[in-house]
Amino acid sequence: MSEAIHPNQLRPGDHIREYRLVRRLGTGGFAIVFLAEYRGQSYAVKVALQPASDDDGDHLDGWMRREAVSLEHLSHPNLLPVHELGRWPQPRTGYSFYVTDHVPGTTFGDWSQTGSITPFQWVGVLCEVLRPLEAMHERGMCHRDLKSENILVREGDDWPFLIDFGAVHLPCARPLTEGLAPGTIYCQPPETVRFLVGKAVLEKGARFEARPSADIYAVGVILYEALTGHHPFDPKLPLAQLLSAILTVPPADPRRLNPEAPASLCDLTLRLLSKEPSQRPPSVRVVREELERLRQTEGKTPTWRAPLILAAEKAEPMEDSRALVSTHTGVAQMPREESAPTGATPRTRHRRRGILTWALGMGLLGLIGWGLLHRVETTAPTLPMRLEQGAHSVQSRPTHEPFSSHDLLTETPTSGCSRIQILVGLTVAQLVGCATAPTVRPDLVSYLQRCPAEARATPEKLGFHTTGPTPYLYGSYIRGGTSASSEIPIDQGGPLNLKAGPVSATVHPHNDRRTYLIEGMAVTTKMRVYIQFDRIQASDGTWLPICGTAVSTAENVYGIPTREAVVFPASPVDPAKVDHSPGSVVLNDPQFMTFIEPPEGARRAKIEVADPDAKVDLEF
């Protein structure tokens, strides 16, 4: 068995230092979390996906080590203790990792919405998890990525843990980014948007100052989700609409979405989500004490003791009695004014509204885009990830570079385009000035050439069919995604929405109907989807390493064409079912081919990498 040289190559039974790996708990783009054992005890081992390097523009090594140091600095019963911090496999140039206890459990969002949990219960849990946040703020620290997914509720006793300190602000620490630190877009407070559209963002070295008020706003987002089952603003909105909503639109009163929600909790939630930081509670301690007071005084009432019946999944709340966001233009439409302020005329009001429309419409796809191209370093919150119970939150990797090795791109975007792609994904990045630049050019050929011998041996080990004009090229079908058609379901070959990030598929490597499950990572561009597969599940359930890439069924190139590149007339798309969220594309059907790297010297098909910017010329 060849020795693993990258975290993605680690398999059950391998070791990181003395910790024997049992299985993956969570897979993202910035890191992988493994369940591990040492001397009969279970641990969680989080490993960065890029090694220590001066060329690491994303500062993954720095963020990882800062996360571990933050946890070591705060000893608290609602935080996971760090047992070891190091690098693997080389102590100086390897991949940073740290080790904590493994806590079987689920996220606060999933736990609070199981259907049996009452507000009395989940408010109590939230109060507990606010205590370490208080301690952080008292020491000048800010979490900066507080959300329900980063609260882990332990099985058995419902004890909560605050996790994922990858974006934490440490006072006096060396800055790792300009602009914005990593975080989650839909949880960002309005002052973040003001920073992006303000003049300060254009100044060299400008950074959004970390303040507790942003964490307090995020507490409001968590409460809103627990009360309604919805986000205050839909994360699937196009970026311009989402940011303009955060900046200008008051969220719908939770009672409109869930009339059974306790009124006092709804009022507190709306105060936490105030557009101005000064209108929010002054500290997390004040928030916790108010929650405890409400729980003490109202906790025996029916609305607190009965599980909330959350509305069925539907569009996120966007309309307010005073303002709404147009789903067509992405511009905040201000309310009709009953009377003009003194000195204001209809023409004046129209001009003001026009200025706001320009700033929040063109500005969010122009001014913000320009500012981001110069200053911003932030996150992509919508990448899917494989996450099991008990896993740490794994920070999503930028949609422009989700492949496992840091050197898979032979030509990367400019630093500015790279940063905006980190924030919004390639599809939106192209709208703000990156469309003419070479977006993504995965060096899949080199990836296959560097395939370790163990992975090359897998096709022979599993008895794959290896003869014919295109050996080691097998029919495959995407698993997952969401339907983009009202007429043809995915399982019948209908069009589908696919996002960048972890992906799975079935492959047919024999002359019979036997199939295998393969898993890997996808990167999306406007015209292509590139997929790198790194493991396959054998018939006995074990996982074996492979080096595989997705190939277009019609062109014999690496890269599946999107519907933007070519339209299949027999695959009708329903515009209402198209996912417009960052990093999402539409495929005409789930079918493609997978090339799996064979043993050294074996005959192989000749395949090239498709141009990520080119349309496809096919006749039907």
Confidence of residue 351 (pLDDT cuts 50, 70, 90): very low
Classify residue 68: in a domain, yes or no. Answer: yes
* Contact partners, residue 213, CB within 8 Å, separation at least 6: 189, 191, 277, 280
- pLDDT value of residue 569: 84
* Residue 476 shares a structural domain with residue 332: no
The last residue of a domain, from among 66, 85, 102: 102
pLDDT tens for each residue of 235-285: 888 777 888 889 889 999 999 999 999 999 999 999 999 999 999 999 999
* Residue 586 shares a structural domain with residue 500: yes
With a pLDDT cut of 70, the percent of the chain lying above it is 70
Q: Which domain holds residue 40?
A: 1-102
* Residue 137 shares a structural domain with residue 70: no
Beta strand 41-48 with 441-442 is unpaired
Classify residue 554: in a domain, yes or no. Answer: yes
- pLDDT value of residue 251: 94
Residues 366, 424: Cα–Cα separation, whole Å: 14
* Residue 4 shares a structural domain with residue 126: no
**Tokens matching residue 490:** 């995915």
Q: What angle do CA 254, 225, 250 make, to 5 degrees?
A: 50
Three-state secondary structure string covering 216-247: HHHHHHHHHHHHHCCCCCCCCCCHHHHHHHHH
pLDDT at 363 over 70: no
Expressed in percent and rounded to 5, the helix, strand and coil fractions of the chain are: 30, 20, 50
Classify residue 144: in a domain, yes or no. Answer: yes
* Residue 503 shares a structural domain with residue 587: yes
Classify residue 198: in a domain, yes or no. Answer: no
Classify residue 353: in a domain, yes or no. Answer: no
Classify residue 576: in a domain, yes or no. Answer: yes
Residue 161's H or E segment, with its range, is strand 160-162
* Residue 94 shares a structural domain with residue 179: no
* Residue 67 shares a structural domain with residue 119: no
Closest to 191 measured CA to CA, from 172, 215, 166: 215
pLDDT tens for each residue of 72-84: 777 899 999 999 9
Provide the whole-model pTM: 0.57
The residue-averaged pLDDT of 296-311 equals: 91
- Residues in binding site: 46
pLDDT at 115 over 80: yes
pLDDT, greater one: 158 or 167: 158
Compute how many other C-beta atoms are within 10 angstroms of the C-beta atom of residue 291: 20
Residues 170, 67: Cα–Cα separation, whole Å: 10
Classify residue 425: in a domain, yes or no. Answer: no
CA dihedral sign of residues 601, 607, 612, 613? positive
The last residue of a domain, from among 83, 102, 121: 102
* Number of domains composing the chain: 3
* Contact partners, residue 130, CB within 8 Å, separation at least 6: 219, 284, 287, 288, 291
* Residue 182 shares a structural domain with residue 280: yes
What residue has token string 């002052």? 191
pLDDT at 314 over 50: no
Closest to 167 measured CA to CA, from 182, 154, 178: 182
* Residue 89 shares a structural domain with residue 134: no
Confidence of residue 329 (pLDDT cuts 50, 70, 90): very low
pLDDT tens for each residue of 492-530: 889 999 998 889 999 988 766 678 999 988 888 889 999
What residue has token string 């992405």? 330
- Residues in binding site for ATP: 46
Closest to 443 measured CA to CA, from 546, 532, 561, 551: 532
pLDDT, greater one: 43 or 412: 43
User: Residue 39 maps to which CATH number?
Assistant: 3.30.200.20
* Residue 547 shares a structural domain with residue 453: yes
Residues 557, 606: Cα–Cα separation, whole Å: 9
User: Residue 261 maps to which CATH number?
Assistant: 1.10.510.10
- pLDDT value of residue 3: 63
The last residue of a domain, from among 291, 309, 337: 337
What's the order of all strands across the beta sheet hosting 584-587? 482-483, 496-499, 584-587
CB 515 within 8 A of CB 536: no
Query: Over the chain, what is the mean pLDDT?
Result: 76
pLDDT at 149 over 80: yes
Classify residue 429: in a domain, yes or no. Answer: no
Residues 413, 129: Cα–Cα separation, whole Å: 40
Give whichever of 112-126, 482-496, 603-617 has the largest mean pLDDT. Answer: 112-126
pLDDT tens for each residue of 175-192: 444 444 456 788 889 998
* Residue 114 shares a structural domain with residue 245: yes
pLDDT at 87 over 70: yes
Q: How far out from the chain centre does Cα 187 lie?
A: 12
Residues 438, 481: Cα–Cα separation, whole Å: 27
pLDDT tens for each residue of 545-602: 999 999 998 788 999 999 999 998 888 999 999 998 877 899 999 999 999 999 988 8
pLDDT at 357 over 60: no
* Residue 95 shares a structural domain with residue 143: no
